[in-house]
Amino acid sequence: MVLNADAISQQSLPKHVAIIMDGNGRWAQARKRPRAYGHKKGVDSVRSAVQFCSKLGIESLTLFAFSSENWRRPEDEVSTLMELFLFVLSKEVKKLHKNNVKLNIIGDISKFPTSLQDKVHDAHALTGQNTGLQLNVAANYGGRWDIVNAAQTLAEKVKTGELDVADITEDALTNKMSMAEQSPLDLLIRTGGDYRISNFLLWQAAYAELYFTETLWPDFNEEAFSEAIACYISRERRFGCTGEQIQQLLAESNTTS
């Protein structure tokens, strides 16, 4: 099933989708190829996901490219991931810019090679004024790191007298998190068959819908993405309210629109 953008109410679509892109290594091993081959094939799925979100008018797409725990992987695989990341930034950013995509790298990039950090800064500078899809790539990112980083930022303001302890609220923390200026996360997808979020967007995912699929990331095409969006649309998001309250709010909205 492939969604038709014209047949769907824009209000029913998620504004912000995040994906844990899992299964590259297993996809390659099943084909008796090195794990690096799976990571390279996964880039094709990234292109497809970006095009799909742009076509549907989704505001933000956040991809988990490299977690803070991925440094524990074999050295040759980490090296391949760094080289692939550098290659993608070198070759794909101009295409993203041409299609009005704004690229944001979220996470602690200070541990990356200087050449890679320079490419990140160049990509931000080139696409920073674009008004289309916001593509967030989480690199050396962890949800706990994000929360701690936000808490430390507020703690420094308390230390200097800019804030009182009572000013450290949920909203204050949210405003110091990654992607604070973007729409809240609506849908979190994980490919590859595992049922966990692996320290990804812990704070942002508090009220997100979760969708897990057995599909390995290199096979996650437009049809698979469509199925995830269709599942999201079919759910009733209550945010602590009852279903009846939500239906009443929807009815009132339809009456006034």
Cα 18 to Cα 208: distance, rounded to the nearest angstrom: 10
Q: What is the pLDDT along the chain (257 residues), one digit of tens a residue?
A: 555 554 455 678 899 999 999 999 999 999 999 888 898 899 999 999 999 999 999 999 999 987 767 766 676 777 777 777 777 787 899 999 999 999 999 999 888 889 889 999 999 999 999 999 999 999 889 999 999 999 999 999 999 999 999 999 999 999 999 999 999 999 999 999 999 999 999 999 999 999 999 999 999 999 999 999 999 988 876 666 565 664 565 566 566 55
| The predicted structure's pLDDT at residue 113 | 85
CB burial of 175-203 (b: ≥16 within 10 Å; e: otherwise) equals ebbbbeebebbbbbbbbbeeeebebbbbb
- Contact between 151 and 28 under an 8 Å Cβ cutoff? The reply is no
For this structure, is 4 an active site residue? no
| The predicted structure's pLDDT at residue 7 | 47
Query: Catalytic residue among 6, 24, 44, 70, which?
Result: 70
Any long-range contacts for 39-44 (C-beta under 8 Å, 24+ apart)?
Answer: 39/80, 39/81, 39/84, 40/84, 41/218, 42/217, 42/218, 43/84, 43/88, 44/218
For this structure, is 22 an active site residue? yes
| The predicted structure's pLDDT at residue 247 | 57
* 217: nearest Cα among 39, 81, 51: 39
Query: Catalytic residue among 4, 22, 99, 167, which?
Result: 22
C-alpha distances in angstroms, 22 versus 25, 65, 197?
8, 9, 11
| The predicted structure's pLDDT at residue 57 | 93
Report pTM. 0.86
| The predicted structure's pLDDT at residue 239 | 60
